[in-house]
């Protein structure tokens, strides 16, 4: 998915205008500029996750978390090493804004299956995201599939120590709201859907009665889905998890 503005994009838009619309174009530039400015504000208000470059991530860690330069660089480099070992060269850091929920924002953020939306029945606690800097790559942790939750927790610790990540990172699976927000941002940026092929990603969220863990289901043609799996299974079939580093901002 290429969202880059280009002359081809403009020509395509121009070709759809009527002759009358084209004739008033030279006299409408100020009005069009105002409309685009309003559109920019609207997009900004509805955008809850943006990717951050490695260098900007260092500066944000210093500014918001008070890390010394060397500590901030070390945090970012540890995630970049992990990404490179997994064959991923995209962003590893994401700035998340407070307020994203499944009920209010998921369908606007990306394609959701009807089953996913209807599953948000009475009793589900929809926890909004908080202002945070998230380290995440769109790949399930290698070797995490079909494990129990306790086995995933051990593997999560192994990933953290193996790559020298911050002691605060890889300590959670992330809320269902955070995972959906990240997945949709990655999808809008690249057109790539994760997870795929019958795979699931474990979250820290639970269904309304608490006996099931919510997992992000595969992102198929019907849209992204989420379902509940019983927590006491020895292995959650087809389920892995994303490595996640959370830095709460402010």
Q: Which pLDDT belongs to residue 36?
A: 63
Q: Which pLDDT belongs to residue 25?
A: 79
Q: Which pLDDT belongs to residue 42?
A: 47
Q: Which pLDDT belongs to residue 26?
A: 82
Q: Which two three-digit tokens encode residue 120?
A: 């948000």
Per-residue model confidence as pLDDT tens digits over 60-76: 999 999 999 999 999 99
In order, the DSSP letters of 197-245 are TT-EEEEEEE-TTSSEEEEEEEEETTEEEEEEEETT-SS-TTEE-EEEE
At 16, is the secondary structure helix, strand, or coil? coil
d(CA 63, CA 250): 10
Q: Which pLDDT belongs to residue 16?
A: 83
Q: Which pLDDT belongs to residue 34?
A: 63
Q: Which pLDDT belongs to residue 43?
A: 44
* Alpha helix positions (H), the chain: 7-15, 19-24, 29-46, 54-65, 69-85, 107-109, 114-118, 149-162, 176-190
d(CA 171, CA 194): 22
Task: Return the ∠ at Cα 200 (arms to 197 and 202), rounded to 5°.
Answer: 165
Residue (of 215, 240, 4) closest to 143 by Cα position = 240
Q: Which pLDDT belongs to residue 232?
A: 62
Q: Which pLDDT belongs to residue 116?
A: 83
Q: Which pLDDT belongs to residue 2?
A: 40
User: What is the mean pLDDT of each successive set of 10 residues along the chain, which is 250 residues long?
Assistant: 58 82 80 62 64 97 95 98 98 97 90 82 81 97 91 97 97 96 95 89 83 83 85 73 92
> Does pTM surpass 0.85?
no
């Amino acid at each position: 998915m290429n969202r880059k503005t280009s002359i081809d994009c403009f020509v395509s838009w121009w070709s759809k205008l009527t002759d009358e619309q084209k004739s008033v174009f030279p006299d409408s530039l100020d009005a069009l500029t105002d409309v685009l400015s309003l559109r920019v504000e609207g997009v900004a208000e509805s955008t809850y996750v943006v990717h951050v470059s490695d260098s900007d991530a260092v500066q944000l860690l210093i500014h918001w978390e008070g890390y010394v330069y060397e500590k901030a660089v070390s945090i970012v480099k540890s995630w970049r090493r992990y990404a490179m070992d997994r064959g991923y060269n995209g962003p590893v850091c994401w700035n998340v804004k407070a307020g994203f929920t499944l009920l209010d924002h998921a369908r606007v953020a990306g394609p959701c299956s009807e089953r996913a939306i209807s599953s948000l029945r009475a009793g589900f606690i929809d926890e909004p995201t908080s202002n945070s800097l998230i380290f995440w790559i769109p790949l399930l942790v290698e070797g995490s599939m079909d494990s129990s939750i306790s086995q995933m927790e051990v593997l999560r610790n192994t990933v953290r120590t193996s790559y020298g990540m911050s002691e605060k990172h890889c300590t959670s699976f992330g809320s269902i709201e955070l995972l959906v927000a990240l997945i949709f941002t990655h999808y809008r940026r690249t057109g790539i859907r994760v997870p795929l092929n019958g795979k699931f990603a474990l979250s820290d969220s639970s269904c309304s009665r608490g006996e099931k863990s919510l997992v992000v289901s595969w992102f198929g043609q019907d849209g992204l889905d989420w379902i509940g799996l019983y927590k006491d299974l020895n292995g959650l079939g087809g389920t892995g998890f994303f490595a996640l580093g959370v830095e709460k901002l402010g």
